[in-house]
Structures are given as C-alpha cells and as structure tokens.
Structure 1
Amino acid sequence: MLKIAICDDEEVFGQHLKQIVSQFFDERNVEHEVRLFCSGEEFVKLNMDMAKYQIVFLDINMEELDGISTAKRLRELCKDAFVVFVTAFIDYALDGYGVDAIRYILKNSSNFNKSVNECIEAILEKMHYAVKIHRFPFKEGTKDINEDNIVYIESNLHQLCFYIMKHELEVYRLDGTLNNIENSLDNTKFVRIHQSYLVNMKYVKNMKLQKAMLIDGRELPIAKPRYKKVRKIFANYKGAM
C-alpha cells in the first residue's frame, strides 16, 4: 500500500488536495492511504513513523514549523521519501534543493489539479512502483507482508523473528533459516550484515563502529568481515535514491 502524507495548516485546502490525490489512485485501482496533518509539528511528532510515507506534500508557509523545516526533520529519518512543496509563492524554490524536493506546485495555479496528477505520475515512474507481497506461515498465523515493510529479520536457534513496520513495530515468528529468506527478498534492499541479521537498507540511518543504526534508534551488529562490504552497499543504496 502506498502511504501519502499531506501537511497543510489550511484545512480546507488540505482536504481539497487529499481529494485530488485519492481520486488519482482510485481511478487507477492502486491501494493507498492518504493522511492529512494540520501542522508541521503534528507530522514530526510521528518520529520514526514519518518514514512510512513514500510521498509527502508539504505547505511551505505554515506557522511555527514551516515546510522547509519539516522536510529537514523528515530527511533526518528518511532519505527516500518524495517531497513535494505546495505553496502560494515560488520564491522558496532554491531552499528545496537542500531537502531534495522533487517538485513545487503553486496553490493558485489554474492548472492545480493537472499539476498534482502529473507530479504523482512522475513520482511513480521514478519509484518503478510495484508492490512485492510475500505470504509467510508465521506462528501467529499466515500473513501477507509487503516487502518494503520488513525492517529486519533476526535468526535465533533456527527461529526467525520478522520486525514489521505497521502502525508500530510488530514482531512475527517462524521456523527457518536466513539463507532461504534472503534468496526470496530484493537483494538491492536487503543486506546480510551478520550471520543473524538481514536488514532493509530503507530503515538504516547510519553505520559506524561496526553497527547499523536504524531510524528508531536500534543498533544491530555488523560482523567485522562484512563491515567494509556492507558500508559500500549502504552508500550505494543511499546514493541511488
């Protein structure tokens, strides 16, 4: 499921934009969730959950925490979200380079609806959007899991613990080996950092001292023989976004 955030302190306009975005995906039968936030503060209070949103529309001219500052907070946690600034003024264009904004859309444009649709189409093309769903026979029951929502998998005595990002981090268990699971997941995202850990690079904030720091503050060990290779993969992954 695609998750889209809209952050605008003008509720009427925010609802209007939400309707446009929802209609775009409804017409294409794409499963999605659009959530409206009424301030930058409300959005950043999500902390690590900000990273769940693949597309974020931000009003630049919000009071207290403006769109640029909100985007900077988002970038501290997540490098791969697509940020779109929605503004009544074009004067802020240069500021967007620092947070890798993909587009600016003018609120008072006569072609506003068309601009939003074209923007989303461009984002989906860049994402090469395709949901990869895996069915796992967990001990808690068989579940269909979006590959992107797997934060990491831990192996312990022939039991695998899947840490899944939903509304909060959830854990599911099944018997098996990391070797088999590793071969079934996207090897451009999932990296074996340790004999016991397979990690989704999407949720890694940094690496140092032979540890992978996740966006929620967790630290996972990186095996010394793997460290140099893992750091290179991590750098290539972030650079390719």
Structure 2
Amino acid sequence: MKKHQLDYTLTEFEDGENFLKAAAQINFQLVFMDIYMENMDGIETSRRLRRKSKLCKIVFLTITEDYARLGYSLSASYYLLKPLSSHQADFEEAMELCQLKSPHEVMTLSVMADRQTLKLPTDKILYIDHQNRVTRIHTAERVIPVSGGFQEVTAALQKDKRFLACYRGILINMDHISHVDSQTFRLINGEELPISLRNRKQLREVYRQYVFSGMEGIV
C-alpha cells in the first residue's frame, strides 16, 4: 500500500453481515472482498453494498475465476486469484487501477413532479420509462411520475455511459443490472426489462463492454 502512496486504515471483518453493519455507518473507499464466506458470500455482500454506495472500490479475492463476470457486473475494480503471493503482478495492477479509476461524480437529474422541482441523484435511478403518455422514474424506493416527454426527461443522461436505451421508451441504469439473458435485463430489485429485438446483439455487447470496463480502469 505504501508503494502506491495510499493513506489507509485497515479493518477486518469475519463475515459479510458484520461488514455491512459497519458499512451502514462508514463510507469505505476500498474493499478486498473474499467470495467464499459463511452465511453470506462475497457476491451477495457486494450487491447489498452497491445499493448503498456506487463509489466504493471493490477488489474480489477468490481461488477460482468462475465468478469473474458476475463480480464485474457489480462494478468491481479488479478480480484477484489467491494465493496473492503467486499473483503479485495482478495485485500491483489492481492497486494502480484503484488509484487511477475515478468513480462517477454524484450527479443529479432535475425534474418536475407534482408541480415541484426534484433533484434526484442519478445513481439512485434504476430506469426511466414512458407508458400511457406518462414518463416515470423508477428508484429502489418509489416510482415517480414526472412532467415532460421521455426524450426531454432523459436528454441529460444520453451522454452518461451508465445509461442504456434498451428498448423503446426505456432507459436503464446498467449499474443496477444483476443478470442478462437472451431477452431481458434483470435488475437488482428483481424487475426484468426487455431488450430490443432489432438491436439485441449490439445492446448486449454495450453492456458486456461496460461490465468489463473496470478491468481497464474505464468508467
């Protein structure tokens, strides 16, 4: 750590549950997460952490590559194989990425709802859709009908790499996708959104590139 000029305080936890209790009170900047843990594995622990924080950098530690893709779907900075003594070069690269990788700034989206201006943190938005002539913003806590057409409401997010127009009238935040299959994106809250049939291959590739961008230090 000193080699990479990181000023740090190291805290260890026996399991994911104890870590999450602490994470509810402390904004950790970097977490080394073992995938195989009792009671709650590292993937589920990280998924719950991501509901609270999109900025914390996660480096997964494990003995197998089986969970690599799922790990990067949680915007992990790196995926290290144990023992670390046999993968020192990978550890050095992970530390470099943790220094260079800049997380998304906390941005807000200004919208009109119930004749009031709301400023919603964009990292809290699961997706935006347009149904029955109403544009709605979906978060984990609520669904917000807003004034304005779909294009007008989503215009400010079109250049944000996190957001993907996966279907006509649907803009999804890829940070909240937990699984993708041939026809749908599944969100961390269990909802499933359709993938456009015409652009399915291209959309899946965009998501794949976004998932693995963490390996290259790209946000």
TM-score normalised by the chain length of structure 1: 0.56
State the 1:137 CA deviation: 2.0
1:102 aligns to 2:94 (yes or no) = yes
> Matches of 1:172 and 1:124 in 2, distance apart?
37
Deviating more after overlay: 225-234 vs 40-49: 40-49
Matched, 1:51 2:23: no
Conservation of the 8 A alpha-carbon contact between 1:68 and 1:96: no
Gaps of 5+ in 1: 1-5, 23-32, 61-66, 104-118
> What is the match of residue 180 of structure 1?
152
Task: Select which of 125, 132, 137 maps to 2:107.
Answer: 132
Q: How is 1:93-172 mapped onto 2 (pairs within 5 angstroms)?
A: 93-94=85-86, 102-103=94-95, 123=98, 125-127=100-102, 129-139=104-114, 141-165=116-140, 169-172=141-144
How many residue pairs align between the two structures? Answer: 184
TM-fit CA distance, 1:220: 0.7
CA pair 175-50 structure 1, distance change in 2 beyond 3 A: same
Higher relative CO (CA 8 A, sep ≥ 6), structure 1 or 2?
A: 2
> Counterparts of 1:1-241 in structure 2 under 5 Å?
8-9=13-14, 33-34=27-28, 41=39, 48-52=47-51, 53=53, 54-55=55-56, 68=62, 76=70, 78-82=73-77, 91-94=83-86, 102-103=94-95, 123=98, 125-127=100-102, 129-139=104-114, 141-165=116-140, 169-185=141-157, 186-241=159-214
Deviations 1:52-78 (A, max 9, x none): 3332578x9xxxxxx749xx9897464
Answer 1 or 2: which has greater strand percent: 1
Q: For the residues of structure 2 that align with 1:159 and 1:236, how far apart are their CA atoms? A: 32
Residues 158 and 175, structure 1, Cα contact 8 Å, conserved in 2: no
CA offsets 1:70-127 (integer angstroms, 9 cap, x no match): xx98974643134799xxxx954558999xx934xxxxxxxxxxxxxxx8xx636312
CA contact (8 A) 1:150 1:200 kept: yes
Look up the SS of the partner of 1:137 in the other structure: strand
Specify the alignment match of 1:26 in structure 2: none
Rate the CA distance shift 1:182–1:144 in 2: closer, same or farther, 3 A.
closer
Checking the alignment, whether the CA contact within 8 Å between 1:161 and 1:174 is kept in structure 2 is: yes
Query: The residue matched to 1:8 in structure 2 has which SS?
Result: coil
Q: Which moved more, 1:135-144 or 1:188-197?
A: 135-144
Query: Partner letter of residue 205 of structure 2?
Result: K
Q: 1:124 to 1:139 in 2, by over 3 A?
A: farther
Distance 2:79 2:205 in 1: 29
Amino acid at match of 2:184: K
What CA distance in whole angstroms lies between the structure 2 residues aligned with 1:172 and 1:141?
A: 12
SS in 2 for 1:131: coil
Change (3 A) 1:207 1:9: closer
